[in-house]
Amino acid sequence: MGYETIVVDKAGGIATITLNRPEKMNAISASMISELQQVLHHAAEDPEVRVIVITGAGRAFCAGMDLASVAGGGSPTGGGAGQEERQIGHPSLPLVMEAIDKPIIAAVNGAAIGWGMELVMLCDIKISSDNAIFGDMHVVRGVIADNGGLWMLPKLVGWSKAAEIYFVGDRMDAKEAERIGLVNRVVPHEELPKATQEMATRIASNAPLAVQMGKRYMRLSQKCDLESSQDHCFAALRLLMQTEDVREGAKAFLEKRAPVFRGR
């Protein structure tokens, strides 16, 4: 299936989604949001996909909303989290991403500003080029973050640091983003594809049902107490113990070889 604003590649259990408006520094548009929702839904449902990677074409990851559209009278709501879509019951992109059990890796190849930084935060693992810069510039444009940033940022970096980042609207380099916990790892720019591939491949080689269920219940555990979390996890474990992957993991251990998981 062809897309206008993104490129999708699937190989080795990894679906790589590339934001593809390099002439606009991958600024978000309504069509990009729609296409991202479509491809993420397909990847979530595709049994051959075990890991999702999101990156950008050219020198930016995503420079935020398309301000040319806003200056011309368009809506500043870039990510589909606006009132109109909520009224008709369509899930916003943050809700779509939050509901996906498969791991999502951000390969941050350049500037991730505003909406772009929010997209990074919505991913589970963030690997950054040392060329990347980050910043939430919403207050400088007279709007607020509407794509999960206000919910995610305090969870990642703590309340006080999140308040500073949001209220001031400054930018930070990749090393500072790593220091405060906004990204997992910073690598030399030319090594970003390799580092991302290695991480995605390692995850994809693990038992996919266990990985996906682990993500689901890690997410759920953020919303309940320890006792409830234990109840959920024990129920999930009983299901997993009936799978072929559990038997394969045990056999591989005894035979001293790498397991080959089938996801069943």
pLDDT per residue as tens digits for the range 181-240:
999 999 999 999 999 999 999 999 999 999 998 999 888 888 888 888 888 888 888 888
Q: Which residues contact 51 (CB under 8 A, 6 or more apart)?
A: 13, 14, 15, 102, 103, 104, 105, 200, 203, 204
Length of the chain: 264
Statement: 6-204 belongs to CATH 3.90.226.10: yes
**CA gap 127, 138 in Å, rounded:** 23
Tell me the per-residue pLDDT of 133-165, one tens digit each, with 9 for 90 and over. 999 988 887 888 888 888 999 999 999 999 999
Q: Where are the domains positioned within the chain? A: 6-204, 208-254
CATH class of 208-254: mainly alpha
pTM of the model: 0.88
- With vertex at residue 221, the alpha carbon angle to CA 218 and CA 227, rounded to the nearest 5 degrees, is 130
pLDDT attached to residue 264: 87
Q: Are 219 and 233 in contact (CB under 8 A)?
A: no
Burial 101-122, CB ≥16 within 10 A → b, else e: ebbbbbbbbbbbbbbbbbbbbb
| Secondary structure tally for the chain: helices H, strands E | 13, 10
